Structure 1
Amino acid sequence: MTSTLLHLAALVFFPALMALSASMDLLTFTIPNRICVCLALGYLILAAPLGVPAADILLNLSCALAILALAFVMFNLGWVGGGDAKLAAATAVWLGWSSILDYGVTAAIFGGILTLIILGARMAPLPAALGRFAWVARLHDCKSGVPYGIALAAAGLMQYPGSGIWAAAV
């Protein structure tokens, strides 16, 4: 019974926090640190009991640190937000080196599509009924950025079934 719950937790935990991070970014243009911390700690708590080899866990941690460094360079250049940088690193620990390139390419494609959709929507006047919602008005504001956490989360969800922890859980 405990083993079944552990496997179920590994299959549900990551997708649930990815959905939460995307939702928070959409609604508030922020990804809370606690979500990224929970993602990273969740991997560390679940991986070993599921039988992920220690060497793979360490490799995934090195991947997350490399992505964190790269993402913070991008943050310093103003290309991504700080929450996006932390989310990318927290996602990288779950995906590891074997999936990180596919994750990056997928996130870039999804981010481009998301950006085009938002920029297109911003060209049209915002209906008054929708303008009453603060998050919709903020999303429609040309001075606002793009909630890129949505693209990062969607890309992470696409890559998750190819990860080592997924394989250990199923």
Structure 2
Amino acid sequence: MFKSSSVNYFASIALVCIIFLSACNGSVGGSAGIKKDLNTGLSSSYKNMEPQKVYLLMNGETLNHVDIPIGEKFYVINDNVKGLTEKDGKVSVGCSLKITDKKGKVLLDEADLFKGEDIFHRDSATVLRCAVTTGNPMQWDEKYDVDVRFWDKYGDGSIENKVTIKAIDIP
């Protein structure tokens, strides 16, 4: 049989767990994980801000491949992002873009594409997207690593998107 003190001990532990989980209130703070688009290989690792869905978009269509014609623009999309830190109903987000070839040569390295225009109303920052345009010095039939990073300038959250694309000749 359980002693009264053992029951009280387990009841206290259970109560602390319930209070802790209630305090979280369904927030994303402290969350970390990885999401992957299996069609394109786009992977998104996140910490303290989480996208519900990640995907590539070109010409208004969700991509199920990574063949991008040279001269075309595509978007890296993080949809329904939760966890951005708010100040007076606003959020502040940074976005970096780095493109490298398979030999490791950096073709483009932009530290903050949103710099100077990085404060948004909280309701307009639920979809984070970065436009990526292919072109010179890219060569057709070559692969390129695209790394897009979004971060919360008011907090410590971040999302890092990585995908390898193949530059193709215009079909």
- TM-score by length of structure 1 reads 0.32
Q: Which has the larger radius of gyration?
A: 2
> Which is bigger in relative contact order (C-alpha 8 A, separation at least 6)?
1
- TM-score by length of structure 2 reads 0.31
Higher helix share goes to which structure? 1
